[in-house]
């Protein structure tokens, strides 16, 4: 699915895509096999995809990142960020953005097996 060279994309565009990928994956996983109403499902998804949780996940996964993933993560983390999350510190928000960018990069470049590995953790 390599739509274009992901290395030429702005890191925050990759993060934007990665956020959607993680949200869709998480929504799918919490919805399968349940008869819950959407309210509780939304709360469960929000716990996982919020910046604080993404930041913790990024810290845990960072040692397993490839050199290319490290580069994408670093570039997104170091971007000038215009907004911030309501309940996250700026460093948490930056790490979360880096993590999302890695997910976006993997999605755009069609590395679905690796993407699934990271999302399952």
Catalytic residue numbers, as ranges: 19
CA distance 19 to 119: 11
The CA distances from residue 80 to 1, 7, 17, 83, 104, in Å, are: 28, 18, 18, 9, 18
Q: At what angle do helices 90-108 and 112-120 cross, to 10 degrees?
A: 150
Residue pair 104/16 in contact (Cβ under 8 Å)? The answer is yes
Residue pair 29/115 in contact (Cβ under 8 Å)? The answer is no
């Amino acid at each position: 699915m390599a739509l274009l060279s992901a290395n030429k994309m702005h890191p925050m565009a990759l993060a934007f895509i990665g956020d959607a990928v993680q949200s869709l994956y998480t929504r799918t996983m919490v919805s399968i096999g349940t008869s819950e109403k959407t309210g509780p499902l939304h709360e469960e998804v929000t716990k996982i995809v919020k910046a604080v949780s993404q930041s913790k996940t990024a810290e845990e996964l960072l040692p397993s990142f490839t050199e290319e993933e490290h580069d994408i993560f670093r570039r997104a983390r170091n971007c000038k960020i215009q907004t911030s999350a309501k309940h996250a510190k700026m460093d948490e928000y930056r790490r979360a953005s880096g993590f999302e960018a890695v997910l976006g990069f993997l999605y755009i470049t069609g590395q679905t097996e690796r993407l699934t590995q990271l999302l399952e953790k």
